[in-house]
Amino acid sequence: MSRQRVAEAALVVNTMVWGATFVLVKAALASVSPVLFLALRFALATAALLVVFRRARPAPGGYRKALFAGALTGTFLFAGYLFQTLGLRLTTAPKSAFITGLSTVMVPLLAALVYKIRPRVSELAGVIVATAGLGLMTLESAIGPVGRGDLLTLCCAAAFAAHIVTLGHFSDEMSFELLSAAQVGAAAVWSLALFWWVEIPQVLWRPAVVWAILITGLAATALAFTIQAWAQQYTTSTRTALIYTLEPLFAWLTSFIFVGEGLSRRAAAGAALILSGVVLVEVKPSHARKHPSN
């Protein structure tokens, strides 16, 4: 397998981890305020990465460049989570899921502005098909009037898109270990500095909360964002965003296994479209080309 295929397979593993932890996080948030949960999650992930990558060496440009790249990508990462949390209070969960998924459409547009190149036709087609599937899978009816919560969630989508594009830009210029630790550390600093301001902090230390912090901190944050920082050296930002549309499928699969949650015909059709969008890009012959950040 080429490095690109291995990298994209690793990104699929990320979506599996994030989708599988959906039920766990949902249960934990009944006992802990959302941004405090993020602060604990990112703080644990930062501590783990600092221990694991304590001997990592910087690429040309030194630690200063790595810290700058990490601060920028980590800011976009935290902004995505923050806007999603704030928006979810003022809109419905299905609308939040769909609008957040619009980051898939934003990524090729931002990448075209940053890299000055056009995405492949197959990539754009896959994005459109997968986004249509996301709408069918998450929206139970028409999206309706746009409120303040929807606009906040749209900012969340833009932040996540900017994170993917920015990470793709820096991933080929420096050590992915330092980039991963720096971006997660920046997100931890932001969340620890702001959780008391955006909400009334509260936590009930139940086993579900402890396990959720441990699993999301170590697997869904430290490991997952390290994988992404490594993988985006070998694949494009557009393909990364497209692969991440698989997350709702894995979230539903986990809910089905552990909670018995079914899937309507409409949602099943959406899931099929998401898979079709990803397959449309992945099965098309891919001619090797230099990574767009080069």
| 121-161 pLDDT, tens digit each | 777 888 888 788 877 776 666 555 667 777 888 899 899 99
Residue 258 lies inside a defined structural domain of this protein:
yes
Backbone angles phi, psi at 205, to 5 degrees: -75, 80
How do residues 66-84 score in pLDDT, each as one tens digit? 889 999 999 999 999 999 8
Which candidate, 235, 227, 105, 100, places its Cα nearest to that of 168? 235
Going residue by residue through the chain, which has 294 residues, state the pLDDT in tens, using 9 for 90 and above.
588 889 999 999 999 898 888 778 888 888 999 899 999 999 999 999 999 998 777 665 567 888 899 999 999 999 999 998 888 777 766 677 777 888 888 888 888 887 776 777 777 888 888 788 877 776 666 555 667 777 888 899 899 999 999 999 888 888 889 899 999 999 999 999 998 888 889 999 999 999 999 999 999 999 999 999 999 999 888 889 888 888 777 777 776 776 666 667 777 787 788 778 777 776 654 444 444 443
| Structure confidence at residue 266 (pLDDT) | 75
- Structural domain containing residue 27: 3-282
Record the tokens describing residue 170, joined without a space: 């820096």
Q: How many domains does the chain have?
A: 1
**In sequence order, what DSSP letters do the residues of 100-148 get, joined into one string?**
HHTHHHHHHHHHHHHH--PPPHHHHHHHHHHHHHHHHHH-SS---S--H
Residue 251 lies inside a defined structural domain of this protein:
yes
Dihedral, 141, 143, 147, 148 alpha carbons, nearest 10: 100
**What does the alpha-carbon distance between residue 277 and residue 104 come to, in Å, rounded to a whole number?**
11
**What does the alpha-carbon distance between residue 37 and residue 188 come to, in Å, rounded to a whole number?**
11
Residue 130 lies inside a defined structural domain of this protein:
yes
pTM (2 decimals)?
A: 0.84
DSSP state for residue 204 in the 8-state scheme: -
| Under 8 Å between Cβ of 43 and 188 | yes
Residue 108 lies inside a defined structural domain of this protein:
yes
Residue 287 lies inside a defined structural domain of this protein:
no
Residue 98 lies inside a defined structural domain of this protein:
yes
Question: For residue 42, how many other CB atoms are within 10 A of its CB?
Answer: 29
